[in-house]
Structure 1
């Protein structure tokens, strides 16, 4: 192919493309060892995307023997060239202090750069660092702002955190109506913490209409993901049996139509989003 011809003529971008083709099995059999070879060549020729991809392979031990020290070295090269995911990973490595120099201030600086480059996870983590004063002077207002940006990007855990800040007035002006909207977004994305908190609000009618049946529905959804809250059980102790039954039906068919509207069918309960690995694995 043209890409292979260019790769064999030392075109770094083409070499990275060939590496990606083999890494993902795009039209060819997946071959991570061959992908790593092409990434290594492209990296040597100065392609930063290839350097980052090669670092990931060493980080995970795919296509090459697992070597987190080598991964850190490659992440650092890419970070110094301005690769935002590499900056994020190096920030975490500096905070961890095992495969990179223990340096909270440097970690915070890199995290800020990755956040300013538009990486949702970096906005969230830098916000937490500001809230807790990790590597930077504590600043709840600025921290809440970064976490709010991450929430706007769609990072569900940030949406839950930001909702809590709004609800409590922590780092932001208290706005419980907006807090409930953020809890709702996260709950609809199948976050069990948000579902549990919505259940409590409906159980007491705080910021939303008092509705034990809806509270029980959100409780059921959170329970399915392993979140049990004795305090919520106490709030729902007076719920009528028919409301419990209806709540379970609504949870079974959530999200979407009720059984009466759609008829019997398989559950469409959304699965909980995968927990962030805290090492970005995609460019």
Structure 2
């Protein structure tokens, strides 16, 4: 197996809109002589936006999943209400219980709003202020009001709450609750990152990668991605892996690339699953393990990655790393092709099938795609 290379880092446009960056995406090459290989689509690091549901513990989490690599660079979806667990409300006299966050997590938003408002106004409770920002930002228990959300986030941020700093930074960058102010947003991200907020470090790294709010500084971006990656951010692990792969801001290091891809893949980061599968398949920076690679390709294919679907199709058609199964393989080829990931070699293989086998592959693809 050899590795063909196309694009890995491209533009990032979720909460932050980033300029295009160069990079490379590995491919499993199963192309016979004389057949042109279709390049893999480009992916991108994605900004991490605040989650709709902070945790009930101190420093409630405010990060959200994407989108990206990537998974692709698209605006983050509207915040969804968290599922309501069956747990009953805690006893009000328990000093270790945060009743406002408990109500929030059970979907009792009106109750959360009432308790948090009283605590914020009467006791100056910082976490209650952050929760009020979340409630107004998402329209939970009240009408959505970005201006009020920004005021509560600022009140909590001024009192040192890193979650509020991060949420307010994303508001400033996106222009919610007031005009856009990327400079102030960057300062808030830096303050939140210093207090250990992984998503803040990651998004600040994206700003240094972009090179608009600050002059582009790949070394500084890599440092911030490392901070967030070490704190467990799969987005940062994947972004830093691309840096090590291409030698951007750091020295090229295929072993470190594979290590970071594995960490992000373990956290179910779809693009990392695909990239790590390819690294395993080719033995790049890690021990070659075709069987493990194919298992990852199956998982990523079922999650909807057209790149994984294309690679899985090639594996099954050629029979490397898995038994030959042309009908199943070409089913996945048709699924990937329906999403714009064509492959001339697999088209040629599809044309070689008997009419009966081709009908089976096409029927399997239609079933997977939800068609009759």
TM-score range for the pair, normalised by the shorter chain length:
0.7 to 0.9
Distance 1:244 1:69 in 2: 57
Within 5 A, what are the aligned runs for 1:21-170? 21-170=135-284
Q: Once superposed, which parts of structure 1, at least 4 consecutive aligned residues long, lie more than 6 Å away?
A: none
| Counterpart contact for 1:147–1:162, Cα < 8 Å | yes
Report 1 or 2 for greater relative contact order, CA contacts < 8 Å, sequence distance ≥ 6: 2
How many Å apart are 1:102 and its aligned residue?
Answer: 2.9
Cα-Cα RMSD: 1.6
Distance 1:202 1:98 in 2: 45
Distance 2:306 2:333 in 1: 9
CA gap of 1:253–1:111, structure 2 versus 1, over 3 A, is: same
Report the structure, 1 or 2, having the larger helix content.
1
Per-residue CA deviations over 1:87-107 (Å, capped at 9, x if unaligned) read 001111122222134322221
Give the structure 2 partner of residue 231 of structure 1.
345
| Counterpart contact for 1:204–1:235, Cα < 8 Å | no
**What is the TM-score with the length of structure 1 in the denominator?**
0.86
Distance 1:216 1:143 in 2: 31
Of 327, 338, 343, the residue aligned with 1:213 is 327
| Counterpart contact for 1:167–1:176, Cα < 8 Å | yes
Give the structure 2 partner of residue 7 of structure 1.
120
Give the structure 1 partner of residue 131 of structure 2.
17
Q: Which runs of 5+ in 2 are unaligned?
A: 1-113
Distance 1:57 1:192 in 2: 33
Secondary structure of the corresponding residue to residue 8 of structure 1? helix
**What is the TM-score with the length of structure 2 in the denominator?**
0.66
Per-residue CA deviations over 1:171-223 (Å, capped at 9, x if unaligned) read 11111111111111111111001101111122122222222211221011102
Distance 2:251 2:293 in 1: 26
How many Å apart are 1:66 and its aligned residue?
Answer: 2.0
Per-residue CA deviations over 1:234-271 (Å, capped at 9, x if unaligned) read 2332111222222222122228xxxxxxxxxx549xxx
Give the structure 2 partner of residue 179 of structure 1.
293
How many Å apart are 1:49 and its aligned residue?
Answer: 0.7
Distance 1:138 1:109 in 2: 15
Distance 1:2 1:197 in 2: 52
Per-residue CA deviations over 1:79-122 (Å, capped at 9, x if unaligned) read 11111000001111122222134322221111111111111111
